[in-house]
A and B are shown apart, each in its own frame.
Chain A
Amino acid sequence: MADILVYSEKRDTALELTYQAKEFAGALGLGVSAVAFGPTSGEVAPELAALGADTVYVSDDPALEGLQTDVVAEALAQVAGAAKATCVLVGSTRRGKELASRLAQKLGAGCVTDVSSMAVEDGVLVAGRYAFGGNTVARENVTTAVKVFAVMPKAFEIGAPLAGAGTVVTAALTLTPSAVKVVDRRPKEGESVDLSAAARIVGMGRGFGKREDLALGEQLAAALRAEIGATKGLSDFQWVSEDRIIGLSGAKTSPELYVSVGISGQIQHTVGISSAKLIVAINKDKDAAIFQLADYGIVGDLYEVLPALIEKLKA
């Protein structure tokens, strides 16, 4: 039987995609194979099997060390061959996006990256992704025999484990180590944050006049027990770190609550928040585009509104 093949170097994303692949596979009459690479593959494999993979291919081949794109793509191409995969789902992380593209080229496949939604329509997988700088959502299907999709983390939810877990097999791979060598690898400087997983976010924009004023936004975030996010503009000023950028060139978030402060609402930013359950906007310009996207809007000076709000929340 032909299979949907699932891979992500991020455990949670691999689990989400595997669970969702089971549903797609049911609608398309396919099986599900999942892949886990590296030293932790043995731990992740049973979870993937329990969430819907009929077969989980694992490998801790030394050539996979460092997860260089060329080698991982070759490994996945070999597994895709073994699993007779007609569709490959990869997590659209930085590594995953690169990987999906190289893999697609190996397989002669069309590919859609940064997929934010996906469904089976009339027996065909249709992927949604932002286009034209976030102005639109393109719905695309891939017409090649093998199809590759890089799906954004948290596009789907992880469901409950299923009865009758699949089997785990060691993938038979023939790999050559990458010419790319890791000279140094270290955790990101400063605290690193994964905004795509944050439940509440306070987003700050150019409405903040000085770097010191961001303390107000941070106090609001503390009162809401929220993470801090920002527009690309603030990161360009180096007022916040790169991993706090939300939008087209940063995190795509889906929090319960997004509070935007001093953000005008350019599409390059708002594509990163459109999946938020509830959006609050605070901006002094009543015509700011952000209010079109907000559930609750406050037209006002953030230097007056934020202290009042922080006081209220602490009360």
Chain B
Amino acid sequence: MALSPGRIRGPVPDGVRRARAYVAQADAGYLNDARGDASVKIVVCVKTNPDLQMVRIKNREPVLEAVPYKVGDLDKNAIEAAIQLRDAAGEGTIVALSVAEGNRKIKETLKEVLAMGADEAVVVADPALVSADPGAVALAIAKAVLQSGGCDLLLFGEGSTDNYSGQVGSRTAELLGLPQIGYARTITIGGAGVQVERGMDDVTETLEAPLPAAVTVVSEINEPRIPSLMNIMKAGKKPVTEYTLADLGLDPAAVAPQRDILSNLAEEQDRKRIMLQGKAAEQAEALANALIKEGVLER
């Protein structure tokens, strides 16, 4: 990926110069430094996924035809978190940002998050993004954030509903030179910036980062609201800005795949599938004997 570095406003900390130069562009201004505005601006990245409950497996291959699309589960948690932060701040703007190969399927799903309470939507739609890797998506997001006037807080679901790769938040943070905090189960804004509580593999942490920052959320953070009919009607009137890659100064080579998918098949499970018959006591006895025979129950 070859991108020419551009001018950057504001002080650039050591260690992030190169990454930021990667996405910085002439006249874009840098995130919230350039906004000069007291209210909070939150960009929430949302992904449109196939509804996995509707995916069938045929000859070990997933069948995606006629499968409806929906907003990522954790992305809705991120939208809900943004709404609560905006309400707590009293004023602010929530921008839902989505990246896809076309705008048809994301229009409907963006309408859903606008109905929930996002104020506007930004779409990066380009056929070159058809098999976009997380790196390409992050690049499009980073560019779109800069192009649309920056933000104070960049929110993501911890992972997408379909692939759960969990890369886009981190990669975008790197591209924009932002501090990042993952796996938030509470978020508050105030004082020194953003405060997050999160559960890691073995500890619970409370972390703090100055704004602008990138935060990813887990499902425990909240229960996403279901939009009212009134808000669904209003959602169609909210502003949607569309960019192509060219609008963002990216050429298709910049979003070229970084991986090959060699195969994507349902797993074959080689299990015994022995059903133990009889009444509860007989089944229990048969199972205890089977466990002894299998050597998992020493007796």
Are A183 and B170 interface neighbours, CB within 8 A?
no
A18-26, A111-119, A163-171 - interface stretch: A111-119
- Picked from B13, B174, B207, B284, the residue with its CB within 8 Å of the CB of A73 is B174
Could you say which of A10, A140, A267, A305 contacts B262, with CB atoms under 8 Å apart? A140
Across the interface, do B207 and A295 meet the contact criterion of CB distance under 8 Å?
no
Across-interface contacts of A291 in B (CB, < 8 A): 273, 275
* Chain B residues whose CB sits within 8 angstroms of the CB of A131 once the complex forms: 162-163, 264
Task: Given A105-B170, A300-B283, check contact A95 B274 (CB 8 Å).
Answer: no
Are B258 and A110 in contact, with the CB atoms below 8 A?
A: yes
Q: Which stretch from B39-47, B102-110, B196-204, B242-250 is at the chain A interface? A: B196-204
Closest to A141 in B: B260
Secondary structure of the B side of the interface? mixed
B290 beta carbon closer than 8 Å to chain A: yes
User: A95-B201, A295-B274 are known contacts. Are A183 and B288 too (CB-CB below 8 A)?
Assistant: no
Kindly state the separation between the CA atoms of A181 and B194 in the bound complex, as whole angstroms: 11
The stretch that binds A, out of B80-88, B116-124, B180-188, B227-235, is B180-188
Q: Is A135 an interface residue (CB 8 A)?
A: yes
CB distance from B274 to the nearest CB of A (A): 5
Q: Which residues of A contact B57 (CB under 8 A)?
A: 135-136
| Separation of A194 and B200 alpha carbons in the complex (Å) | 12
Known contacts A137-B267, A181-B209; A301 and B288 CB within 8 A of each other: no
Q: Which of B146-198 contact A (CB under 8 A)?
A: 161-171, 173-175, 179-183, 192, 195
Q: Is the CB of A308 within 8 A of B138?
A: no
Bound CA span A298–B204, Å: 39
Given A106-B19, A132-B52, A176-B15; A94-B170 close (CB under 8 Å):
no
Answer whether A136 and B288 are a contact pair too, CB < 8 Å, given A73-B174, A144-B258, A200-B296: no
Q: Which of A30-38, A42-50, A207-215, A274-282 lies at the interface with chain B?
A: A274-282
In the assembled complex, the Cα of A256 lies from the Cα of B165 at a distance in Å of 28
A309 to B276, CA, bound (A): 13
CA distance A179 to B195 in the complex (A): 12
Decide if A304 touches B209 in the complex (CB within 8 Å): no
List residues 158-193 of chain A with CB under 8 A from any CB of chain B: 175-176, 178-189, 192
> 1/0 per residue B94-107: CB within 8 Å of A?
00000000000000
Task: Assess whether B75 is interfacial by the CB under 8 Å rule.
Answer: no
> What is the 8 Å Cβ interface bit string for chain B, positions 243-273, against chain A (1 contact, 0 not)?
0000000000000011111111111010111
Q: Report the bound CA distance from A132 to B170 in whole Å.
A: 21
Interface: B222 (CB within 8 A) = no
A296 and B263 alpha carbons, distance in the complex (Å): 31
B219 — nearest CB in chain A belongs to which residue? A249
Instruction: Name the distance in Å between B286's Cβ and chain A's nearest Cβ.
Output: 8
> Given the complex of chains A and B, what is the CA–CA distance between A151 and B272 in angstroms?
29
B204 touches A188 (CB 8 A): yes
B99 to chain A, nearest CB (A): 16
B16 contacts across to A, CB distance below 8 A: 70
Measured in the bound complex, the distance between the Cα atoms of B291 and A256 in whole Å is: 11
Check B236 for interface membership: any CB of A closer than 8 A.
no
A62 interface contact, C-beta 8 A? no
Tell yes or no: B37 within 8 A of A by CB: no
Known: A295-B274, A298-B276. A180 touches B287 (CB 8 A): no
In contact, A140 and B261 (Cβ under 8 angstroms): yes
Number of interface residues of B (CB under 8 A): 83
Question: Is A216 interfacial (CB 8 A cutoff)?
Answer: no
Q: Quick check: is B1 within 8 A (CB to CB) of the other chain? A: yes
Nearest A-chain residue to B16, judged by Cβ: A70
Is B261's CB under 8 angstroms from A138's CB?
yes
Give chain A interface residues in 267-309, CB to chain B under 8 Å.
Answer: 267, 274, 277-280, 291-301, 304-305, 307-309
User: With A73-B174, A294-B273 given, is the CB distance from A278 to B206 under 8 Å?
Assistant: no
A232 to B161 alpha-carbon distance, docked (Å): 14
Shortest Cβ distance from residue B242 to the other chain A in the assembled complex, whole angstroms: 25
Contact B273 A102 (CB under 8 A): no
Chain B 202-220 interface 0/1 with A at a Cβ cutoff of 8 Å (1 = within): 1111111110010000111
Q: Are the C-beta atoms of B266 and A136 separated by less than 8 Å? A: yes
State in angstroms the CA–CA spacing of A77 and B129 once bound together: 28
A294 close to B284 (CB less than 8 A): no
Asked if A227 CB lies within 8 Å of chain B CBs, one says no
Question: Inside 8 A of A126's CB, which chain B residues have their CB?
Answer: 262
Taken together as a complex, chains A and B put the C-alpha atoms of A102 and B19 apart, in Å, by: 11
Check B280 for interface membership: any CB of A closer than 8 A. yes
Closest chain A residue, CB of each to CB of B57: A135
Complex contact B179–A183 (CB within 8 A) = no
**CB-CB contacts below 8 Å: B49-76 with A:** 50, 52, 55, 57, 60, 62
Given contacts A98-B180, A102-B173, A114-B165, 13 further A-B pairs with CB under 8 A are A94-B182, A94-B200, A102-B170, A105-B19, A105-B175, A135-B266, A179-B210, A185-B204, A185-B205, A188-B199, A189-B204, A279-B271, A292-B269
Q: B interface vs A, CB < 8 Å?
A: 1, 13-16, 19, 50, 52, 55, 57, 60, 62, 133-135, 138, 161-171, 173-175, 179-183, 192, 195, 199-210, 213, 218-220, 257-267, 269, 271-276, 280-281, 283-285, 287-288, 290-291, 294, 296-297
Q: List 20 A-B contacts (CB under 8 A).
A: A70-B16, A73-B174, A94-B182, A105-B19, A105-B138, A110-B133, A132-B163, A136-B267, A140-B260, A141-B259, A192-B202, A249-B164, A280-B291, A292-B273, A296-B276, A296-B287, A299-B275, A305-B283, A311-B284, A313-B297
Closest 7 CB pairs of A and B: A110-B258, A101-B170, A308-B284, A133-B52, A101-B167, A105-B174, A304-B280
